[in-house]
A = this chain, B = another copy of it.
Amino acid sequence: MFKTRLNELIQKKKTLLCVGLDTDLEKIPNFLLSEVDPLYIFNQAVIEATHDYAVAFKLNLAFYESLGLPGWELLERTLEAIPKDVLLIADAKRGDIENTGKKYAEAYFKTYAFDAATVSPYMGTDSVTPFLEYEHKGVFILCLTSNAGSMDFQFLKVENEPLYLKVARKALEWNYLYGNCGLVVGGTHPRETKEVRELAPGLPFLVPGVGSQGGNLEQVIKYATDEKGQSTLINASRTILYASAERDFAEAARAQAKHLRDQINLFVSVQKNIDLLNRN
Protein backbone atom coordinates (compact mmCIF):
# COMPACT_ATOMS: atom_id res chain seq x y z
CA MET A 1 0.00 0.00 0.00
CA PHE A 2 1.31 3.43 -0.91
CA LYS A 3 0.80 5.06 2.48
CA THR A 4 2.57 2.21 4.29
CA ARG A 5 5.47 2.33 1.86
CA LEU A 6 5.70 6.10 2.23
CA ASN A 7 5.75 6.04 6.01
CA GLU A 8 8.17 3.12 6.20
CA LEU A 9 10.53 5.01 3.94
CA ILE A 10 10.07 8.20 5.96
CA GLN A 11 11.01 6.28 9.12
CA LYS A 12 13.95 4.55 7.49
CA LYS A 13 15.44 7.61 5.77
CA LYS A 14 14.26 10.13 8.37
CA THR A 15 13.11 12.68 5.86
CA LEU A 16 9.86 14.17 4.53
CA LEU A 17 11.62 15.92 1.67
CA CYS A 18 10.36 15.51 -1.89
CA VAL A 19 12.63 16.91 -4.59
CA GLY A 20 10.75 18.32 -7.57
CA LEU A 21 12.62 17.69 -10.83
CA ASP A 22 11.12 20.65 -12.73
CA THR A 23 14.11 20.87 -14.98
CA ASP A 24 14.15 23.92 -17.21
CA LEU A 25 16.71 24.61 -19.95
CA GLU A 26 16.44 28.32 -19.17
CA LYS A 27 17.41 27.82 -15.55
CA ILE A 28 20.17 25.18 -15.46
CA PRO A 29 23.77 26.42 -15.20
CA ASN A 30 24.98 28.02 -18.40
CA PHE A 31 28.15 25.99 -18.62
CA LEU A 32 26.04 22.84 -19.20
CA LEU A 33 24.56 24.20 -22.40
CA SER A 34 27.65 23.27 -24.39
CA GLU A 35 27.09 19.60 -23.49
CA VAL A 36 25.25 17.27 -25.89
CA ASP A 37 22.72 16.34 -23.25
CA PRO A 38 22.59 19.15 -20.66
CA LEU A 39 19.19 18.33 -19.13
CA TYR A 40 20.02 14.70 -18.48
CA ILE A 41 23.44 15.54 -17.07
CA PHE A 42 21.76 18.05 -14.80
CA ASN A 43 19.03 15.65 -13.64
CA GLN A 44 21.46 12.82 -13.05
CA ALA A 45 23.78 15.02 -10.99
CA VAL A 46 20.93 16.42 -8.91
CA ILE A 47 19.48 12.94 -8.30
CA GLU A 48 22.83 11.58 -7.20
CA ALA A 49 23.48 14.58 -4.98
CA THR A 50 20.08 14.71 -3.25
CA HIS A 51 18.53 11.22 -3.10
CA ASP A 52 20.00 10.51 0.36
CA TYR A 53 17.85 13.30 1.74
CA ALA A 54 14.70 12.65 -0.25
CA VAL A 55 11.83 10.25 0.36
CA ALA A 56 10.46 11.02 -3.12
CA PHE A 57 11.24 12.69 -6.42
CA LYS A 58 8.35 14.49 -8.11
CA LEU A 59 8.53 15.01 -11.85
CA ASN A 60 6.22 17.73 -13.11
CA LEU A 61 5.38 16.41 -16.56
CA ALA A 62 4.93 19.88 -18.09
CA PHE A 63 8.69 20.39 -18.09
CA TYR A 64 9.18 17.23 -20.13
CA GLU A 65 6.08 17.48 -22.35
CA SER A 66 7.06 20.99 -23.43
CA LEU A 67 10.18 19.59 -25.11
CA GLY A 68 8.31 17.13 -27.31
CA LEU A 69 9.87 13.73 -28.01
CA PRO A 70 13.29 14.55 -26.50
CA GLY A 71 11.44 15.54 -23.32
CA TRP A 72 9.77 12.14 -22.98
CA GLU A 73 13.08 10.47 -23.67
CA LEU A 74 14.58 12.59 -20.91
CA LEU A 75 11.75 11.58 -18.58
CA GLU A 76 12.35 7.87 -19.23
CA ARG A 77 16.09 8.12 -18.67
CA THR A 78 15.63 10.31 -15.59
CA LEU A 79 13.29 7.73 -14.03
CA GLU A 80 15.89 5.04 -14.69
CA ALA A 81 18.54 7.14 -12.96
CA ILE A 82 16.57 7.39 -9.71
CA PRO A 83 17.64 4.86 -7.04
CA LYS A 84 15.10 2.38 -5.66
CA ASP A 85 15.00 3.93 -2.20
CA VAL A 86 13.03 6.95 -3.43
CA LEU A 87 9.35 7.05 -4.43
CA LEU A 88 8.42 8.43 -7.86
CA ILE A 89 5.57 10.91 -8.18
CA ALA A 90 4.07 11.94 -11.52
CA ASP A 91 2.90 15.52 -11.03
CA ALA A 92 0.36 15.36 -13.83
CA LYS A 93 -2.81 17.01 -12.43
CA ARG A 94 -4.85 15.11 -15.01
CA GLY A 95 -8.58 14.48 -14.92
CA ASP A 96 -10.84 13.26 -17.72
CA ILE A 97 -13.86 11.02 -18.36
CA GLU A 98 -13.46 7.38 -17.29
CA ASN A 99 -12.61 5.99 -20.74
CA THR A 100 -9.81 8.56 -21.02
CA GLY A 101 -8.76 8.57 -17.37
CA LYS A 102 -7.88 4.89 -17.77
CA LYS A 103 -5.34 5.87 -20.40
CA TYR A 104 -3.74 8.48 -18.17
CA ALA A 105 -3.55 6.01 -15.27
CA GLU A 106 -2.02 3.48 -17.64
CA ALA A 107 0.56 6.07 -18.73
CA TYR A 108 1.90 6.73 -15.22
CA PHE A 109 1.39 3.37 -13.54
CA LYS A 110 2.07 0.91 -16.36
CA THR A 111 4.01 2.62 -19.17
CA TYR A 112 6.07 4.46 -16.54
CA ALA A 113 6.60 2.95 -13.09
CA PHE A 114 5.53 5.93 -10.98
CA ASP A 115 4.47 5.16 -7.41
CA ALA A 116 1.91 7.97 -7.26
CA ALA A 117 0.30 10.68 -9.39
CA THR A 118 -1.47 13.99 -8.81
CA VAL A 119 -5.06 14.21 -10.13
CA SER A 120 -7.45 17.15 -10.58
CA PRO A 121 -10.85 16.71 -8.89
CA TYR A 122 -13.02 18.97 -11.10
CA MET A 123 -14.51 16.15 -13.20
CA GLY A 124 -15.47 14.06 -10.18
CA THR A 125 -15.54 10.38 -9.24
CA ASP A 126 -15.29 8.66 -12.60
CA SER A 127 -12.26 10.80 -13.50
CA VAL A 128 -10.44 9.64 -10.34
CA THR A 129 -11.39 5.94 -10.07
CA PRO A 130 -9.19 4.79 -12.98
CA PHE A 131 -6.21 5.96 -10.90
CA LEU A 132 -7.53 4.57 -7.61
CA GLU A 133 -7.95 1.13 -9.18
CA TYR A 134 -4.18 0.75 -9.16
CA GLU A 135 -4.50 0.02 -5.48
CA HIS A 136 -0.79 -0.11 -4.69
CA LYS A 137 -0.26 3.35 -6.19
CA GLY A 138 -0.91 6.69 -4.47
CA VAL A 139 -3.40 9.20 -5.87
CA PHE A 140 -2.94 12.77 -4.66
CA ILE A 141 -6.07 14.86 -5.30
CA LEU A 142 -5.60 18.60 -5.82
CA CYS A 143 -7.40 20.00 -2.79
CA LEU A 144 -5.93 23.39 -1.96
CA THR A 145 -3.19 24.57 -4.31
CA SER A 146 -0.31 26.86 -3.43
CA ASN A 147 -0.85 29.49 -6.14
CA ALA A 148 -2.71 32.82 -6.12
CA GLY A 149 -5.37 31.36 -8.44
CA SER A 150 -6.41 28.99 -5.64
CA MET A 151 -8.56 31.92 -4.42
CA ASP A 152 -10.74 31.86 -7.54
CA PHE A 153 -12.69 28.64 -6.96
CA GLN A 154 -11.16 26.64 -4.12
CA PHE A 155 -12.22 29.16 -1.46
CA LEU A 156 -15.78 29.60 -2.75
CA LYS A 157 -18.32 28.81 -0.03
CA VAL A 158 -20.42 25.72 -0.68
CA GLU A 159 -23.02 24.91 2.00
CA ASN A 160 -21.09 26.98 4.53
CA GLU A 161 -17.69 25.55 3.84
CA PRO A 162 -15.08 26.26 1.18
CA LEU A 163 -14.87 24.06 -1.90
CA TYR A 164 -11.43 22.70 -0.90
CA LEU A 165 -13.03 21.08 2.16
CA LYS A 166 -15.73 19.55 -0.05
CA VAL A 167 -12.93 18.12 -2.18
CA ALA A 168 -11.19 16.78 0.94
CA ARG A 169 -14.46 15.11 2.07
CA LYS A 170 -14.88 13.52 -1.34
CA ALA A 171 -11.27 12.30 -1.24
CA LEU A 172 -12.08 10.61 2.07
CA GLU A 173 -14.92 8.76 0.30
CA TRP A 174 -12.57 7.83 -2.54
CA ASN A 175 -10.08 6.60 0.03
CA TYR A 176 -12.62 4.07 1.35
CA LEU A 177 -12.34 2.19 -1.95
CA TYR A 178 -8.69 1.15 -1.86
CA GLY A 179 -7.07 3.25 0.88
CA ASN A 180 -4.71 4.94 -1.57
CA CYS A 181 -5.88 8.56 -1.73
CA GLY A 182 -3.86 11.55 -0.67
CA LEU A 183 -4.24 15.33 -0.93
CA VAL A 184 -2.24 18.17 -2.44
CA VAL A 185 -2.31 20.99 0.11
CA GLY A 186 -0.31 24.11 -0.68
CA GLY A 187 2.29 25.23 1.84
CA THR A 188 1.20 28.83 1.34
CA HIS A 189 -2.05 28.21 3.30
CA PRO A 190 -1.06 27.08 6.83
CA ARG A 191 -4.38 27.87 8.52
CA GLU A 192 -6.36 25.98 5.92
CA THR A 193 -3.85 23.11 6.03
CA LYS A 194 -4.75 22.73 9.72
CA GLU A 195 -8.44 22.45 8.81
CA VAL A 196 -7.77 19.87 6.10
CA ARG A 197 -5.54 17.80 8.38
CA GLU A 198 -8.23 17.79 11.08
CA LEU A 199 -10.78 16.60 8.53
CA ALA A 200 -8.50 13.97 7.00
CA PRO A 201 -6.08 12.88 9.77
CA GLY A 202 -5.06 9.71 7.94
CA LEU A 203 -4.43 10.85 4.38
CA PRO A 204 -0.92 11.51 3.03
CA PHE A 205 -0.37 15.16 2.11
CA LEU A 206 1.82 16.36 -0.73
CA VAL A 207 2.80 19.93 0.11
CA PRO A 208 4.26 22.21 -2.55
CA GLY A 209 4.92 25.90 -2.09
CA VAL A 210 7.44 26.09 0.75
CA GLY A 211 10.38 27.15 -1.44
CA SER A 212 10.17 29.75 -4.20
CA GLN A 213 6.48 30.22 -3.47
CA GLY A 214 7.18 31.42 0.05
CA GLY A 215 5.28 29.06 2.37
CA ASN A 216 6.24 29.12 6.08
CA LEU A 217 7.98 25.81 6.76
CA GLU A 218 7.49 25.72 10.53
CA GLN A 219 3.74 26.23 10.26
CA VAL A 220 3.46 23.82 7.37
CA ILE A 221 5.15 21.06 9.38
CA LYS A 222 3.03 21.84 12.40
CA TYR A 223 -0.24 21.55 10.52
CA ALA A 224 0.41 19.16 7.62
CA THR A 225 2.05 16.22 9.39
CA ASP A 226 -0.02 13.52 11.07
CA GLU A 227 0.20 12.72 14.78
CA LYS A 228 3.39 10.73 14.22
CA GLY A 229 5.01 13.55 12.23
CA GLN A 230 4.59 11.49 9.06
CA SER A 231 2.23 11.02 6.07
CA THR A 232 3.59 14.20 4.54
CA LEU A 233 5.80 15.06 1.59
CA ILE A 234 7.31 18.52 1.64
CA ASN A 235 8.20 19.38 -1.93
CA ALA A 236 10.92 21.80 -3.00
CA SER A 237 11.87 22.21 -6.64
CA ARG A 238 13.52 25.45 -7.72
CA THR A 239 15.24 26.20 -4.38
CA ILE A 240 17.13 22.90 -4.63
CA LEU A 241 17.63 22.57 -8.39
CA TYR A 242 18.89 26.07 -8.92
CA ALA A 243 20.72 26.58 -5.62
CA SER A 244 23.79 27.49 -7.69
CA ALA A 245 24.15 28.46 -11.34
CA GLU A 246 27.82 27.49 -11.33
CA ARG A 247 29.87 24.31 -11.59
CA ASP A 248 29.05 23.46 -7.98
CA PHE A 249 25.33 23.19 -8.74
CA ALA A 250 25.09 19.56 -7.59
CA GLU A 251 26.92 20.19 -4.31
CA ALA A 252 24.78 23.28 -3.78
CA ALA A 253 21.64 21.23 -4.45
CA ARG A 254 22.86 18.61 -1.97
CA ALA A 255 23.59 21.23 0.67
CA GLN A 256 20.19 22.82 0.15
CA ALA A 257 18.41 19.43 0.30
CA LYS A 258 20.27 18.55 3.50
CA HIS A 259 19.46 21.94 4.99
CA LEU A 260 15.77 21.54 4.19
CA ARG A 261 15.69 17.97 5.47
CA ASP A 262 17.28 19.09 8.74
CA GLN A 263 14.97 22.07 9.13
CA ILE A 264 11.94 19.88 8.49
CA ASN A 265 13.13 17.29 11.02
CA LEU A 266 13.80 20.00 13.58
CA PHE A 267 10.25 21.34 13.22
CA VAL A 268 8.84 17.80 13.35
CA SER A 269 10.65 17.10 16.62
CA VAL A 270 9.66 20.47 18.09
CA GLN A 271 6.06 19.65 17.22
CA LYS A 272 6.30 16.18 18.75
CA ASN A 273 7.63 17.70 22.00
CA ILE A 274 4.80 20.22 22.10
CA ASP A 275 2.28 17.43 21.55
CA LEU A 276 3.90 15.44 24.35
CA LEU A 277 3.78 18.38 26.76
CA ASN A 278 0.15 18.99 25.87
CA ARG A 279 -0.69 15.36 26.55
CA ASN A 280 0.97 15.34 29.99
Q: A-side interface residues toward B, CB under 8 Å?
A: 22, 24, 60, 62-63, 65-69, 72-73, 76, 91, 93-101, 103-104, 106-107, 110-112, 120-128, 142, 145-154, 156-159, 163, 166-167, 170, 208, 213, 238
A173: nearest residue on chain B (CB-CB)?
B152
Q: How far is the CB of A21 from chain B (nearest CB, A)?
A: 12
CB pair B154–A122 under 8 Å, yes or no, is: yes
Q: A22-B100, A97-B146 are in contact. Are A65 and B124 (CB under 8 A)?
A: no
CB pair B63–A100 under 8 Å, yes or no, is: yes
CB pair B166–A147 under 8 Å, yes or no, is: no
A62 contact from B101, B156, B238, Cβ within 8 A: B101
CB pair A123–B150 under 8 Å, yes or no, is: yes
Q: How far is the CA of A238 from the CA of B69 in the complex (A)?
A: 27
Q: A66-B104, A120-B95, A120-B120 are in contact. Are A126 and B149 (CB under 8 A)?
A: yes
**Copies of this chain, count:** 2
Q: Which 9 A-B pairs have the closest CB atoms?
A: A124-B149, A124-B152, A62-B103, A66-B103, A126-B149, A97-B147, A66-B107, A68-B111, A66-B106
- Residues of chain B contacted by A106 (CB below 8 angstroms): 66
With most chain B CB atoms within 10 A of its CB, the pick from A91, A112, A150, A166 is A150
With most chain B CB atoms within 10 A of its CB, the pick from A73, A97, A170 is A97
A67: nearest residue on chain B (CB-CB)?
B111
Q: A111-B68, A170-B152 are in contact. Are A123 and B100 (CB under 8 A)?
A: no
A157: nearest residue on chain B (CB-CB)?
B158
A127: nearest residue on chain B (CB-CB)?
B149
A68 contact from B72, B91, B149, Cβ within 8 A: B72
- Residues of chain B contacted by A68 (CB below 8 angstroms): 72, 76, 107, 111-112
CB pair A60–B96 under 8 Å, yes or no, is: yes
- Residues of chain B contacted by A146 (CB below 8 angstroms): 97
Q: How far is the CA of A123 from the CA of B151 in the complex (A)?
A: 8
Contacts A/B (CB < 8 Å), 13 sampled? A60-B96, A62-B94, A62-B96, A65-B104, A68-B111, A69-B76, A93-B123, A121-B152, A124-B145, A124-B147, A152-B170, A156-B163, A163-B163
